[in-house]
């Protein structure tokens, strides 16, 4: 405990931690105001997108008209198919035009309903072998999301440009779990132990009357606490700035996930808890692995190289050889935890939690044993 | 046995840095470890405190193997200032030592007063001068009243006043029963600290008592320096002129009384006589003359 306080003080008062904390808080605030500033631009973009879809439909319509008038003979099967597609395309054109006109209005329920109709029309049109620049995945996702929003009476927010607290928090958490936390942790703990060997300050710790294993435990706990401080600061900043300057939101806002090929909805709170939880678990694993590597290499660059190499290799193997049976034994699936939550194909987001914890404890145990005989040469 | 080093050998790449070091200390005393840069003084101390691996030999401090970290309850090691954490204050460092040693916090004020660092106790180490860092290092190693104190170049960066204070503290510690093994390049200070000197040469330890090498160097202040020079040159007395104002010679070259007689006979008045013991430096020159690093 006494060593823990000393280790924590060393980290907390380091220029690196304070600068990084200030930088992250500033970054979150800037991100929020970027969303506010770009709101009109994004709405314009959305309108332009619908305009583009209208143009696509108009172009398709001209093609169909030409085909019907010049290339095909009336009464043939092909003629009837093209005629049917033209009708469907005209419906799409009208709905896209309606959506274009609804952008930026307060008629959010109507927007959702029209968008549902539009996506259903696109789906039907594609089934009738019509070509349209919207993917199947986009159709399914939009349908699922809009139906959930209607059912719960929540207006739709623009993804990644919202300034409602729940949605801005989602955006920040997504950035955090998509490499953000990994980079922050690497910056925070990158030289946690190796700098002690490089500067020889480890000599001070090695010539004190306590079990050297305490060094590992205290470094682990203090770096975890520092990580949590940064995490809480980032999340509170996101919530604080969006509450102060943002619009009203709903924490039941749905996040669409895919479980065994079926689209389901999570509330934004559940998603945030799961994503942040898994990322934090990954951080526990990373710190444990770092501490062991730092005792093996005693050099910052080598240690970071080995750590990043292990994480990268683990993740690539996980992504390349997706073996359902191994889901329970693979901590590397949480390198990018967002994926583990959003797509759960024959595996669940929580499958690898026990193994990640166990492996972390084992790594810490090996590091604690190793440091007892560790020397500075 | 307070300190027992038995056949300590350490190889660095292909070279033996320490070639079978034996040290036995049975009574509290101050031992000086002297040798040129790279002779292995720090390596020896790091091996003794189990910071470095060694190829052969055993080390016991206060009857316990050096691999047992419990020895550091009574053994302290003053190392170079890189062990300090710049972002923390001197107080943080001393509190840490107090906490892990199980000492009361009152020891912090006590030791700060003893080494004269009360005024910057709460300042961050990154703003310290070299001398202030040495003070803190000293405070950190004596706060637990150790029975064995290893010190690697403790006088580095100290101004003359601080060096004198450091010397007095070490002499007090010896009186209190602490065994001090100190490495230093400051041979004058070593002369003032101890007679027991271990020279580290080519990885081997030459243990010597300075008594057999100790000699006095005399500094005479005379009323007519030019006349005195002529008298001594005529009498073939080996001497030097120190600082353009004193005649200086070693007692091993010529006896004091002989010089006084020569000068008095020729009417040169002697105004003052000072002397200094120069055993460490003399022996050091004998042992290491010609070494590139001396």
Looking at the fold, whether B184 and B227 belong to one and the same domain comes out as no
Partners of B50 on chain A (C-beta within 8 Å) are 206, 375
Give the percent of chain A with pLDDT over 90: 77
Asked, for residue B13, whether it belongs to a domain, the answer is: yes
Token pair 């503290």 is found at B169
Query: In this structure, are B220 and B139 located in the same domain?
Result: no
Q: Is residue B74 part of a domain?
A: yes
Q: Measured between beta carbons, which residues in chain B are less than 8 angstroms from residue A226?
A: none
Q: Return the pLDDT at B291.
A: 55
Give the closest of A5, A10, A206 to B51, CB-based.
A206
- Phi first, then psi, for residue B62 (nearest 5°) are 55, 35
Predicted confidence (pLDDT) per residue in A339-367, tens digit: 889 988 888 888 889 999 999 999 999 99
Residue B212 has pLDDT above 60, yes or no: no
Percent of chain B with pLDDT over 90: 49
User: Using CA atoms, how far apart are residues B196 and B32, in angstroms rounded to an integer?
Assistant: 6
User: Which of helix, strand or coil describes residue A101?
Assistant: helix
Assembly ipTM:
0.79
Give the distance from residue B234's alpha carbon to the nearest chain A alpha carbon, in angstroms. 59
Structural domain includes residue B150: yes
Contact B191, B277 (CB under 8 A): yes
Domain boundary among B186, B212, B238: B212
Q: Is the pLDDT of residue A263 over 90?
A: yes
Tell which residue, B237, B280, B287, B242, has the closest CA to residue B257.
Answer: B237
pLDDT at B102 over 50: yes
Claim to verify: residue B196 and residue B224 sit in the same structural domain: no
d(CA B2, CA A229): 48
Query: Nearest by CB to B83, which of A15, A201, A210?
Result: A201
Residue with the bigger pLDDT between A303 and B279: it is: A303
* CATH code of the domain in which B228 resides: 3.30.70
Same domain, B234 and B118: no
pLDDT in tens, A153-170: 999 998 889 999 999 999
DSSP string, A209-276: SS-THHHHHHHHHHHHHHHHHHHHHHHHHHHHHHHHHS----TT-EEEEEETTEEEEEEHHHHHHHHH
Which of A204, A215, A226 to mutate to probe the B interface, most B CBs <10 Å?
Answer: A204
Regarding whether B154 and B91 lie in a shared domain, the answer is yes
Judged by CB atoms within 8 Å, which residues 10-39 of B form the interface with A? none
Q: Same domain, yes or no, for B180 and B61?
A: yes
Interface of A with B (CB under 8 A): 2-3, 5-6, 9-10, 13-15, 199-201, 203-204, 206-212, 375-377
For residue B38, how many other CB atoms are within 10 A of its CB? 12
Residue B233: give the domain boundaries: 216-277
For the segment B162-188, what is each residue's pLDDT rounded down to a tens digit? 888 888 999 999 999 999 999 987 777
Residues B256 and B138 in one domain: no
> What per-residue confidence (pLDDT) applies to B294?
39
What CATH number does residue B93 fall under?
3.40.50.300
Q: Do A209 and B72 touch (CB under 8 A)?
A: yes
Domain presence at residue B165: yes
Q: Is the pLDDT of residue B254 over 60?
A: yes
pLDDT confidence of residue B293: 43
Point out the domain boundary residue: B190, B212, B234: B212
pLDDT confidence of residue A171: 96
In this predicted structure, the answer to whether residue A53 has a pLDDT above a threshold of 50 is: yes
Are B236 and B142 in the same domain? no
pLDDT at A79 over 90: no
Q: What pLDDT, on the 0 to 100 scale, is given for residue B77?
A: 96
Instruction: Name which of B46, B96, B100 is nearest A209 (Cβ-Cβ).
Output: B100
Are residues B109 and B20 part of one domain?
yes
Rounded-to-integer distance, Cα A39 and Cα B131, Å: 60
How many structural domains does chain B have?
Answer: 2
- What local confidence, expressed as pLDDT, does residue A317 receive? 87
Residue B140 and residue B86 in contact, taking contact as beta carbons nearer than 8 Å: no
- Split at pLDDT 50, 70, 90, the class of B273 is confident
Per DSSP, the three-state class of A315 is: helix
- For residues B236 and B190, membership in a common domain is answered with no
Contact A88, A128 (CB under 8 A): yes
Q: Where along chain A do its domains lie?
A: 2-36+161-372, 39-152
For residue A356, what pLDDT is reported?
Answer: 94
- B131 with B227, same domain? no
Looking at residue A123, what is its pLDDT? 94
Q: Report the range of poorest mean pLDDT among A184-188, A228-232, B196-200.
A: B196-200
């Amino acid at each position: 405990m006494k060593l823990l306080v000393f280790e924590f003080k060393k980290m907390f008062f380091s220029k690196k931690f304070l600068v990084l904390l200030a930088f992250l808080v500033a970054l979150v605030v800037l991100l929020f105001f970027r969303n506010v500033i770009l709101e009109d631009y994004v709405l314009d973009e959305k309108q332009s997108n619908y305009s583009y879809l209208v143009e696509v439909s108009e172009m398709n319509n001209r093609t169909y008209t030409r085909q019907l008038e010049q290339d095909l003979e009336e009464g043939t099967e092909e003629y009837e198919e093209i005629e049917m597609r033209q009708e469907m395309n005209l419906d799409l054109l009208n709905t896209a035009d309606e959506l274009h006109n609804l952008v930026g209005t307060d008629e959010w329920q109507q927007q959702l309903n029209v968008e549902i109709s539009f996506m259903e029309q696109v789906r039907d049109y594609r089934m009738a072998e019509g070509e349209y620049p919207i993917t199947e995945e986009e159709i399914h996702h939009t349908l699922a999301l809009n139906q959930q929003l209607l059912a719960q009476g929540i207006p739709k927010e623009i993804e990644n440009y919202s300034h409602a607290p729940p949605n801005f928090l989602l955006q920040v958490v997504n950035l955090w779990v998509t490499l953000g936390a990994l980079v922050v942790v690497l910056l925070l703990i990158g030289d946690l132990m190796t700098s002690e060997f490089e500067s020889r300050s480890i000599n001070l710790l090695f010539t004190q009357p306590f079990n050297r294993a305490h060094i590992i435990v205290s470094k682990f706990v203090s770096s975890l606490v520092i990580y949590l401080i940064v995490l809480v600061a980032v999340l509170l900043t996101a919530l604080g700035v969006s509450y102060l300057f943002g619009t009203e939101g709903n924490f039941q806002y749905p996040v669409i996930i895919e479980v065994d090929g079926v689209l389901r909805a999570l509330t934004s709170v559940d998603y945030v808890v799961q994503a942040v939880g898994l990322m934090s678990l990954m951080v526990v694993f990373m710190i444990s692995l770092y501490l062991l590597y730092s005792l093996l290499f005693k050099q910052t660059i080598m240690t970071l190289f080995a750590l990043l190499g292990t994480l990268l290799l683990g993740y690539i193997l996980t992504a390349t050889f997706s073996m359902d049976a191994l889901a329970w034994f693979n901590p590397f699936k949480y390198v990018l935890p967002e994926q583990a939550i959003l797509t759960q194909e024959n595996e669940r987001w929580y499958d690898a939690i026990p193994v990640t914890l166990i492996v972390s404890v084992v790594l810490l145990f090996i590091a604690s044993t190793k440091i007892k005989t560790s020397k500075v040469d | 046995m307070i300190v027992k080093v038995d056949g300590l050998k350490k190889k660095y790449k292909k070279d033996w840095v320490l070639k079978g070091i034996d040290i036995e200390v049975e009574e509290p005393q101050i031992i000086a470890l002297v040798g040129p840069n790279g002779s292995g003084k720090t390596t020896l101390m790091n091996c003794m405190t189990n910071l470095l691996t060694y190829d052969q030999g055993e080390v016991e401090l206060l009857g316990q193997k050096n691999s047992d970290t419990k020895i550091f309850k009574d053994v302290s090691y003053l190392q170079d200032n890189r062990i300090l954490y710049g972002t923390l204050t001197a107080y943080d460092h001393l509190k840490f030592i107090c906490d892990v040693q199980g000492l009361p916090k009152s020891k912090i004020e006590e030791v700060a007063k003893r080494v004269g660092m009360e005024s910057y106790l709460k300042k961050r180490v990154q703003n310290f001068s070299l001398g202030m860092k040495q003070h803190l290092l000293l405070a950190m190693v004596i706060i637990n009243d150790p029975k064995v104190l290893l010190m690697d170049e403790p006088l580095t960066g100290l101004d003359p006043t601080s060096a004198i204070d450091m010397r007095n503290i070490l002499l007090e510690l010896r009186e209190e029963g602490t065994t001090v093994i100190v490495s230093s390049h400051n041979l004058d200070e070593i002369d003032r600290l101890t007679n027991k000197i271990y020279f580290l040469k080519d990885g081997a330890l030459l243990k010597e008592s300075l008594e057999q090498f100790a000699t006095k160097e005399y500094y005479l202040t005379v009323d007519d320096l030019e006349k005195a020079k002529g008298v001594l040159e005529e009498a073939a007395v080996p001497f030097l002129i120190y600082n353009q104002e004193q005649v200086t010679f070693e007692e091993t070259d010529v006896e004091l009384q002989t010089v006084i007689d020569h000068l008095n006979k020729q009417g040169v008045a002697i105004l003052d006589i000072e002397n200094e013991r120069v055993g460490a430096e003399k022996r050091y020159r004998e042992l290491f003359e010609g070494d590139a690093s001396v």
